[in-house]
Amino acid sequence: MRGFSNGPSADGVFGPGNRSILRDVQYKRDLPAQPKNKVTLNLAHLTPGKYTAELFKVGYRPNDAYAAYKDLGSPAQLTRDQVAKIKSENCGAPLESHVVDMGSEGNFSQQFDLRENDVVLVAHKPQH
């Protein structure tokens, strides 16, 4: 029975001793999201009036606590100040917020850029 070493065997297979090496290579590399397409959101038949339109996004960098942690140098132990910084930068607040008037037709259209692995939520809250 052949034992596992810390390096690849002659056939290039890694043993259990190399799991941390593979994990470091796979998860510590910075892989910025690539641009995909512009997306147009068209809504119709909304109640006419003024709304607050908010754009929320999660992806590479926006609301990305792991990227913020890496920016701090990936410390083994975070300080309270570092935790507070990560929380404040990744709190889920909208990236955009503005007032829109749906008009008498109740139509809305907004265009925005998407990148790989982005998730976007557009919320419309009626103003009273």
CA–CA dist 21, 36 (Å, integer): 31
For the segment 99-104, the average pLDDT, to the nearest whole number, is 90
- The pLDDT tens digits of the residues spanning 65-82 come to 999 999 999 999 999 999
Strands 35-43 and 108-115: antiparallel
- The pLDDT tens digits of the residues spanning 37-73 come to 899 999 999 999 999 999 999 999 999 999 999 999 9
Instruction: Calculate the average pLDDT of the chain.
Output: 84
Q: What are phi and psi of 87, to 5 degrees?
A: -65, -45
- The pLDDT tens digits of the residues spanning 2-37 come to 444 445 555 555 555 555 555 555 566 788 899 998
- As a whole-number percent, the residues of the chain with pLDDT over 70 amount to 78
| Predicted TM-score of the model (pTM) | 0.71
DSSP labels, 36-104: EEEEEEEE-SPPSSEEEEEEEEESSSTT-HHHHHHHTT--SS--HHHHHHHHHHTS---SEEEEEE-TT
| Burial class, 26, CB count within 10 angstroms (exposed 0-12 / middle 13-18 / buried 19+) | exposed
CB 112 within 8 A of CB 98: no
The domains found in the chain, sorted by start residue, are 37-126 (2.60.40.1500)
